[in-house]
Structure 1
Amino acid sequence: MPLTYLTHTFGCKLNFSETATIARMLEERGLQQARKGDHPDIVVVNTCSVTGEADKKCRQTIRAIARRHPHAAIAVTGCYVQLHPEEASSLPGVVVTAGIDRKLQIAGYLDRWLAERQPTVDVNKASLIKDFAPSCSRGDRTRWFLKVQDGCDYWCTYCTIPKARGRSRSATIEQLVGQASQVAADGGREIVITGVNIGDFGKLTGERFIDLCRALDTVEGIDRYRISSIEPDLLTDEIINFVASSRRFMPHFHLPLQSGSDHVLQLMRRHYDTSLFASRIEKILHTMPDAFIGVDLITGAMGETPAHFDESLRFIERLPVSRLHVFPYSERAGTRALEIRPRVEPSERHERCRTMIAVSDRKLAEFQRRYEGTTRKVLVEHSVSADGHMYGFTDNYIKVEMPADPGLFNRIVDTRLTAGGKDFMKGIPAK
């Protein structure tokens, strides 16, 4: 019988893209994905370390996997592993511990384990990571995720990503156009452009992110591109104008704000202020009035007084965005934020988080309400769910629930939108 495997992924879209590539490599070696309820021979865990809670969940999950599948060989990789290699390698069942730049060598390390029963720990220092590991995968979604860039040179005071992912680096435009062309050949309709700091694309190659976008726009067969997240100081008028004029790049942006207080932004060592951020939102909506704009926000950061939080709240309430992704601040060892005072108590961080989430819920409801009774194109992304529905997204990223029709899977369908649930609208496909 062929060996079987399972994967478990924490964190960002970039991680999901890389995990799917690892799974494909395992299948190329003859492994099969384990069925539900079976005990796999191999489990690959791609970890995250964006918060202390993320580290905790990674440890708990690896221990739970070892208890549930005591005979499985566990391979761990990702940001938590990069930052805490000794701790990760000591967890029960772990036989492969692979650093950020070793992710796509996991299949080879597992070959060695199966042949020699010798564990592998291969974690390079982040400062020594130079190579870019390409990744473009679908996983279990209709959308494909194209990794164009990795690493970050920004060194914000609260963040460990540069230590975990290394310096900014990327593929070439030629390589990425080739991968997008292969997605089209495989029947893909939509590609999400992913990376840690994608606006920094081409820093070492002399290419630019706008040039990448223009090149991808020429790939026949891809109907939709989405820019997953881009720093506001790197989102130029040139990029916004290009997206507005492109037939394939969707009116959908995701921008990390982190705080609506200029004082807190300075403490964070962000590369913009609220005035610049607001100007980016204004430019997007001036050129694309229907655009969906998601915003990342941290509450209770070191140095955020009640007055600073109120300032941030007022700024967010005035900002014409579609949805917030809100996270309470989490202390990270080795970051300069730990030197900042005052410190906000965890209970207060979470209370501020709940306040911002309530604002987000109102903004999303208002955004969706604008489109009740309208018809928009929906890419039907998911096969039939247990409750007999299918789901997809409009061009401007409204999630739509519709009656099940497997014939619509991976098709773009004109759909009439009606009122729906908290984070989706109901849709009736046009006949």
Structure 2
Amino acid sequence: MENRKKVAFYTLGCKLNFSETSTIARSFNDEGFDRVDFEDVADIYVINTCSVTENADKQFKQVVKKAMKLNDKAFVAAVGCYAQLKPEELASVDGVDLVLGATEKFKITDYINDLSKNDMGEVHSCEIAEADFYVGSYSIGDRTRAFLKVQDGCDYKCTYCTIPLARGISRSDALENVLKNAKEISAQNIREIVLTGVNIGDYGKGEFGNKKHEHTFLDLVQALDKVEGIERLRISSIEPNLLKNETIEFVSKSRTFVPHFHIPLQSGSNDILKLMKRRYLREVYTDRVSKIREVMPHACIGVDVIVGFPGETDEHFLETYHFLNDLDISYLHVFTYSERDNTEAVGMEGVVPSNVRAKRSKMLRGLSVKKRRAFYESQLGTNRTVLFEAENKEGYIHGFTENYVKVKTPWNPELVNTLQEINLTKIDEDGSVRMEFLNKLAEV
């Protein structure tokens, strides 16, 4: 057993990347490797990259440096979105030995025969048009919830986005396969499954880019709700034009789906939405929020928004700010626009200076703090169910309620990965919520 090679993983970016890293890690396990933490000395370091923000590019170089510090003879492989978009760039980073694109990453163990260091990273990446098959993935063993991939790729042509270039066309897992994966996850005592993909509302397009929908997203949600053993299902990010009223109504009455939606807006100005080539106007967004509030007043609603897109004037930005301020939402994920090669937006006029982008970003982050606080205050005094995480943070255990309120209570290892009935009592200085157990047995 002493001769078994050790492999470590680092994931940049989204929940979808986490699910895929987990699947890639299992393939190493099948080949006789032992997985260790990234902070440990390993023979191979695999970095799953992201292309969404400029920051992710810089982070990649830092992660490679970290791996080299731990073991300067280790073999370093880069996979994922950035590896597909800029393979040569990654291959030239000091210490990188192998770069695999969108279709090759799931066959990584086939490429690792010789673990000696290369002077220059070896590149295997496909033309993105070849990424037309589907590889199912889910993460397990990393945390108290699992990320289950149901869809990949995107057919939308948003002018700022590189994801269709990095992941190819929209394609989905077969319904029976999603259900099989969900059953495998629930059999491992995981309480919550988060559905992930690039554009999950587009679920149902066939494996080889067949544009006919075999099933709809609503079919998927209804089928998953019937799987025995799953206690919680959470929808990750879903486009407002694809989040149908029928789905919202179903979630409101569902056995397992929780009242939490994350819906990208990107801009509260119709002028900017048109420049971005988004497939809706802000009125559609207002309708979705109103529908959720009508059937689930206690639901948590998160919003993605981009600031500093080319052509965004002060008036456009204030339109977005006031739109969000007036909307009954719970928190924001704020992205500062960054130029990406081979996107339409790169050539657009009206470039917003970086100091203005930073200022707008700061204003919206401030608004997010205010919105989250107001949402948490609206939940005080209510009874909820919390799923506790595995980490001891300064003597406290944290968890999330079904409607995504972050709670804390003094550390008790017996609470890890358990669902507990609680009452939300007060907001702590750190922004999380204190609680009382409704079931006194939980206070062992």
- In structure 1, C-alpha distance between the alignment counterparts of 2:65 and 2:40, rounded to whole Å: 18
Name the structure 2 match of 1:202.
204
- In structure 1, C-alpha distance between the alignment counterparts of 2:46 and 2:231, rounded to whole Å: 32
Q: Which runs of 5+ in 1 are unaligned?
A: none
- In structure 2, C-alpha distance between the alignment counterparts of 1:140 and 1:251, rounded to whole Å: 24
- In structure 2, C-alpha distance between the alignment counterparts of 1:151 and 1:145, rounded to whole Å: 17
2:74·2:117 contact (CA, 8 Å) conserved in 1?
no
- In structure 1, C-alpha distance between the alignment counterparts of 2:39 and 2:203, rounded to whole Å: 42
- Distance change >3 Å, CA 171–CA 8, structure 1 → 2: same
Q: Is residue 2:406 matched to residue 1:399? A: yes
**Equivalent residues in 2 for 1:111-126, closer than 5 Å:** 112-114=113-115, 120-126=122-128
- In structure 2, C-alpha distance between the alignment counterparts of 1:153 and 1:242, rounded to whole Å: 26
- In structure 2, C-alpha distance between the alignment counterparts of 1:179 and 1:294, rounded to whole Å: 27
Name the structure 1 match of 2:102.
100
- In structure 1, C-alpha distance between the alignment counterparts of 2:368 and 2:385, rounded to whole Å: 25
**Equivalent residues in 2 for 1:373-412, closer than 5 Å:** 373-383=381-391, 385-412=392-419
Name the structure 2 match of 1:262.
270
- In structure 1, C-alpha distance between the alignment counterparts of 2:106 and 2:355, rounded to whole Å: 40
- In structure 2, C-alpha distance between the alignment counterparts of 1:386 and 1:36, rounded to whole Å: 20
1:211 to 219, 226, 232: 219
Q: Is residue 2:282 matched to residue 1:235? A: no
RMSD (CA atoms): 1.8
Can you list the C-alpha shifts for 1:189-219, whole angstroms capped at 9, x where unaligned?
1100000000111122521111011111110
Q: Is residue 2:150 matched to residue 1:148? A: yes
Can you list the C-alpha shifts for 1:237-258, whole angstroms capped at 9, x where unaligned?
1111110110100000000000
**Equivalent residues in 2 for 1:182-197, closer than 5 Å:** 182-197=184-199
**Equivalent residues in 2 for 1:74-85, closer than 5 Å:** 74-85=76-87
2:248·2:292 contact (CA, 8 Å) conserved in 1?
yes
Name the structure 1 match of 2:340.
332
- Distance change >3 Å, CA 188–CA 274, structure 1 → 2: same
2:201·2:217 contact (CA, 8 Å) conserved in 1?
yes
Amino acid at match of 2:238: I
- Distance change >3 Å, CA 381–CA 342, structure 1 → 2: same
Q: CA deviation at 1:47?
A: 0.4
Deviates more, 1:20-29 or 1:270-279: 20-29
Q: Is residue 2:298 matched to residue 1:296? A: no
SS at match of 2:241: helix
SS at match of 2:379: coil
SS at match of 2:316: helix
Q: CA deviation at 1:139?
A: 4.2
Can you list the C-alpha shifts for 1:12-45, whole angstroms capped at 9, x where unaligned?
0000111112222222323223367642111010
Q: CA deviation at 1:413?
A: 0.2
- Distance change >3 Å, CA 38–CA 408, structure 1 → 2: closer
Q: CA deviation at 1:334?
A: 1.2
1:101·1:132 contact (CA, 8 Å) conserved in 2?
no
- Distance change >3 Å, CA 133–CA 291, structure 1 → 2: same
Q: Is residue 2:361 matched to residue 1:353? A: yes
1:368·1:425 contact (CA, 8 Å) conserved in 2?
yes
**Equivalent residues in 2 for 1:37-52, closer than 5 Å:** 38-52=40-54
Q: CA deviation at 1:423?
A: 4.0
- In structure 2, C-alpha distance between the alignment counterparts of 1:18 and 1:424, rounded to whole Å: 30
Q: Is residue 2:429 matched to residue 1:427? A: no
Amino acid at match of 1:11: G
Identical counterparts, % of pairs: 45
1:66·1:92 contact (CA, 8 Å) conserved in 2?
no
1:63·1:91 contact (CA, 8 Å) conserved in 2?
no
Deviates more, 1:189-198 or 1:89-98: 89-98
- In structure 2, C-alpha distance between the alignment counterparts of 1:343 and 1:54, rounded to whole Å: 22
- In structure 2, C-alpha distance between the alignment counterparts of 1:421 and 1:21, rounded to whole Å: 38
Amino acid at match of 2:397: M
Name the structure 1 match of 2:379.
371
Q: Which runs of 5+ in 2 are unaligned?
A: 207-212
SS at match of 1:360: helix
Name the structure 1 match of 2:209.
none
SS at match of 1:158: coil
Amino acid at match of 2:187: A
Aligned residues: 429
- In structure 2, C-alpha distance between the alignment counterparts of 1:406 and 1:216, rounded to whole Å: 30
1:402·1:429 contact (CA, 8 Å) conserved in 2?
no
Compute the TM-score of the two structures, normalised by the length of structure 1: 0.96
2:139·2:147 contact (CA, 8 Å) conserved in 1?
yes
- In structure 1, C-alpha distance between the alignment counterparts of 2:298 and 2:98, rounded to whole Å: 47
2:422 to 415, 426, 430: 415
Name the structure 1 match of 2:61.
59
- In structure 1, C-alpha distance between the alignment counterparts of 2:306 and 2:138, rounded to whole Å: 29
2:75·2:117 contact (CA, 8 Å) conserved in 1?
no
